[in-house]
Structure 1
Amino acid sequence: MTRPATHRFDAAVTGLGIVSPAGVGVPGSWERVCSGIPTATTDPALTGVPVDFSCRVPGFDADALIGRRKAWRLDRFVQLAMVAAKEALEDAGLDPATWDGTRVGVVLGSAVGGTATWEQQHRTLLDKGAEQVSGMLIPMLITNMVAGQLAIEHRALGPNLVVSTACAASATAIGTARELLRSGTCDVVITGGTEACLTPSIISGFARMGALSRRTEDPAAASRPFDVDRDGFVAAEGAGILVLETPEHAAARGARVRARISGYGATADGHHPTAPDPSGQGVERALRAALADAHLTPEDIDHVNAHGTSTPLNDAAEAKVLRRLFGDRPAVTSTKGVTGHALGAAGALEAVFTVLAVEQQLVPPTANVVKQDPEVELDVVTEAPRAVPVRAAVSNSFGFGGQNAVLVVTQA
């Protein structure tokens, strides 16, 4: 069923799953994010790297969660997504053994793919020679395999793809998934994103760019979005999965609808490979496009989950746009203060947290805001979660290359 563009389309969010530095599973992750307690800590895997701390998923045991026979064939970025997808499908009350898989799509986002496998096998090549490189290198490395593996696991036989728009990737994926529902191509889409690239080469690259915080003496205080003393982001890993359905499909099976994805906007800055456009014109166009898609105005938005990376340039540019468009009325947070920046998975983690904020009418705090930057003229939630009426919220995601993606989340 093709729907006229003049009608708002509300994709029903019926399932959530998450594996994040704040915990494995939605309840634990949400509790930690609402606590405002940061997760950054010294990372033994980064010993010798100029920035030796990160936000890593705690206690993740792939053998126990997936099964040893399956886990050894999967890079960590796929393992994280497999666990999050299982939780999301169980939360949605969907059984892949009984569904029409041809009507189920998978759209995920990831910026980098299987870097842990790549680095490991490159060392094998150098130390032992080409004949010792694993035959599993390519299927473990390439980014599209996370969607392919989920399709194999859950018999999801509809459109199957991975999008890569840097740190906007999983928000782009969610917006794309919604379009598959709106067009009538799918009844259900498993969507979100995943990233697991806390490896020496990737972290060294970010460090050389000057993008990372250098607070090696106090990692827990390093991710500080909108704080006057912010000095860079803290790299993280994780996976967030949302089960989206058409309203008709969700209603027909009596599904619980947690919230709705009601708008999506995407633009390009066309400005610089790594720096945001200081005018914020691309971001503003994405926000306005998402609001128009949702048939809402800026006055309808009660909460903003900001991209808020804790970098000097990004936070300043985003804050100017938010102030220009919304004033100081919405309750603004950046959950990256707790979780760090999960790169291509960030938009999915934050979409899950935005759905929970709308569902529970509770905005989590931004960690480590000791002194808010005076140029950030926004109502930034700090110290403790804030209970506020949230009819509609936006979740912002921006990536290298000037790629912007904005989601609008509304009440069920």
Structure 2
Amino acid sequence: MSVSLATGADPDTLVVSGWSAVSPYGLGAEAFADGVREGQDGVRTVDAPDLGPYERAGRVPNFDIRTVLGRKGTRAMDRATALAVATAGMLLEQAGGGLAQDDPEAVGMVLGTGHGSVQSIMDFTRDSLTGERPFHVDPALFPNTVMNRAAGQSAIWHSLRGPNVTVAGGALTGLLALNYAARLLRRGHCEAVLCGAVEEFSTERAWLEYRARTGGPHQQPTGPLGEGCALFLLEPLGRARAHGRVPLASLLGSRFIAFHAPERAHEAVVRAVTEALKDADVRPDEVALLVPSDRGGPLGGREDAALASTFGEHQPPRLRLRRLIGDAGAASASLQLAAALTTTQADRPVVITSVDPDGQTGAVVLHAGPE
């Protein structure tokens, strides 16, 4: 392979030098890692009067916004924003080294989301329709209806003054955010990036997902939904070393392909994985782990078949996260990446794939392990 994390590796190699997550396993990277390694079921019976058509969901347990973040500045904060702010805080604390204090403009943020806070959008719209006047709404809640609320608030909360970007791309969102962050770094727009994705569970999202899956010509599995946030610190290897951070994985390659019909998903996945491996200069028989989106149904079957045909006789083990924590929507691919970092043997390549019913697929190749 052309890139490794061994001593003497190119200092411009982009590496993941820290990560954290909020998930159905609880707060922090350690809770998530333990849950994935032990194969714990993070999907539980929903203990609430009205959370939509699903009886079970992968919710972050006991996540109270004011308890986690304090009372100041949280009165009107939506759940998705709170998940992102909390995750960013844990990652920055773990990274240390004055990541944002020395030069706040050097650190950017790329955060993926599905639609922002669906609950906030629909609640605000409902209030404008049911109130005595359309403008009889709480203005403090309006910022929650904007898609970039979580990214912007996270940056403000933690004094990150570099580029601030919101990405939305369905199930692929986390991989697209990682790719966007890499482009920011390679073009010199910042020195380090917090990147990842967030998704909240709410009554409104549950009903929207349910109707989307059970209606139309291409019905999808209606398994339980999940929520969470995973963020990664992406920076050049030389910068990570200079600040005493141990690289966890290097980013070797990625590829994203669109397909116009569900029947073409197999071909698109094969092409995305094959081209990503070629970019990374990694042979299929060198890959130690596959982390597919595990969608289930016909689309998931095409993804699995595509991976089987791409790797031939060498079939790396597959880590299937969705069945453990539910469908985390826009946060799915970022949580897949976090799961890969917790289970992959050092000094081995790993491939993360995702496929979305809207007609896009992607693959990312990482080389796992410390220097």
TM-score normalised over the length of structure 1: 0.80
2:226 alignment counterpart: 236
Q: 1:349 aligned to 335, 355, 363, which one?
A: 335
1:25-44 aligned within 5 A: 25-44=28-47
Instruction: Indicate the SS of the match to 1:289.
Output: helix
1:371-410 aligned within 5 A: 391-410=348-367
Give distance in 1, aligned partners of 2:13 and 2:315. 25
Say whether residues 1:57 and 2:43 are aligned partners: no
2:306 alignment counterpart: 321
What displacement does 1:46 show? 6.6
What displacement does 1:232 show? 3.7
Say whether residues 1:92 and 2:98 are aligned partners: no
What displacement does 1:168 show? 0.8
Encode CA deviations 1:327-371: one digit per residue, 9 max, x unaligned: 35201121111111111011111111112223xx2xxxxxxxxxx
Give distance in 2, aligned partners of 1:289 and 1:178. 18
Consecutive unaligned residues of structure 2, counting only runs of 5 or more, are: 1-9
1:18 alignment counterpart: 21
Q: 1:250 aligned to 202, 215, 240, which one?
A: 240
Encode CA deviations 1:362-409: one digit per residue, 9 max, x unaligned: xxxxxxxxxxxxxxxxxxxxxxxxxxx760101112223212222212
Which sits farther off after the overlay, 238-247 or 83-92? 83-92
Say whether residues 1:332 and 2:318 are aligned partners: yes
Give distance in 1, aligned partners of 2:129 and 2:206. 21
1:269 alignment counterpart: 259
What displacement does 1:39 show? 1.9
1:219 alignment counterpart: none
1:97-108 aligned within 5 A: 98-108=101-111
What displacement does 1:162 show? 0.8
Give distance in 2, aligned partners of 1:48 and 1:397. 27
Give distance in 1, aligned partners of 2:49 and 2:331. 20
Instruction: Indicate the SS of the match to 1:71.
Output: coil
2:162 alignment counterpart: 158
Aligned residues: 354
Partner letter of residue 268 of structure 1? A
Instruction: Indicate the SS of the match to 1:60.
Output: coil
Instruction: Indicate the SS of the match to 1:233.
Output: coil
2:293 alignment counterpart: 307
Consecutive unaligned residues of structure 1, counting only runs of 5 or more, are: 1-6, 213-229, 362-388
Give distance in 2, aligned partners of 1:136 and 1:291. 47
Give distance in 1, aligned partners of 2:360 and 2:47. 32
Give distance in 2, aligned partners of 1:137 and 1:101. 28
Partner letter of residue 320 of structure 2? S
Partner letter of residue 324 of structure 1? S
Which sits farther off after the overlay, 180-189 or 239-248? 180-189
Give distance in 2, aligned partners of 1:265 and 1:171. 10
Give distance in 1, aligned partners of 2:266 and 2:301. 10
Say whether residues 1:180 and 2:187 are aligned partners: no
Which sits farther off after the overlay, 134-143 or 161-170? 134-143
Encode CA deviations 1:180-215: one digit per residue, 9 max, x unaligned: 22223221001000011x333332232233459xxx
Give distance in 1, aligned partners of 2:51 and 2:179. 39
Which sits farther off after the overlay, 67-76 or 276-285? 276-285
1:69 alignment counterpart: 72
1:210-225 aligned within 5 A: 210=213
Give distance in 2, aligned partners of 1:233 and 1:187. 40
Give distance in 2, aligned partners of 1:83 and 1:318. 33
Encode CA deviations 1:202-254: one digit per residue, 9 max, x unaligned: 32232233459xxxxxxxxxxxxxxxxx9543211110000111112112222
Partner letter of residue 361 of structure 2? N
Sort the Cα spacing of 1:295 and 1:185 in 2 relative to 1 into closer, same or farther, 3 A.
Answer: farther
What displacement does 1:63 show? 0.8
Sort the Cα spacing of 1:201 and 1:154 in 2 relative to 1 into closer, same or farther, 3 A.
Answer: closer
Give distance in 2, aligned partners of 1:136 and 1:206. 27
Give distance in 2, aligned partners of 1:35 and 1:15. 22
User: Is residue 14–residue 91 contact of structure 1 (8 Å, CA) maintained in 2?
Assistant: no
Sort the Cα spacing of 1:392 and 1:96 in 2 relative to 1 into closer, same or farther, 3 A.
Answer: closer
Say whether residues 1:168 and 2:172 are aligned partners: yes
Sort the Cα spacing of 1:50 and 1:152 in 2 relative to 1 into closer, same or farther, 3 A.
Answer: closer
What displacement does 1:48 show? 7.5
What displacement does 1:156 show? 2.1
User: Is residue 23–residue 32 contact of structure 1 (8 Å, CA) maintained in 2?
Assistant: no
Sort the Cα spacing of 1:49 and 1:83 in 2 relative to 1 into closer, same or farther, 3 A.
Answer: closer
What displacement does 1:126 show? 4.2
Sort the Cα spacing of 1:138 and 1:349 in 2 relative to 1 into closer, same or farther, 3 A.
Answer: same
1:173-212 aligned within 5 A: 173-196=177-200, 198-210=201-213
Give distance in 2, aligned partners of 1:156 and 1:74. 19
CA RMSD of aligned residues (A): 2.3
Give distance in 2, aligned partners of 1:349 and 1:46. 28
Give distance in 1, aligned partners of 2:252 and 2:177. 14
Give distance in 1, aligned partners of 2:247 and 2:179. 18
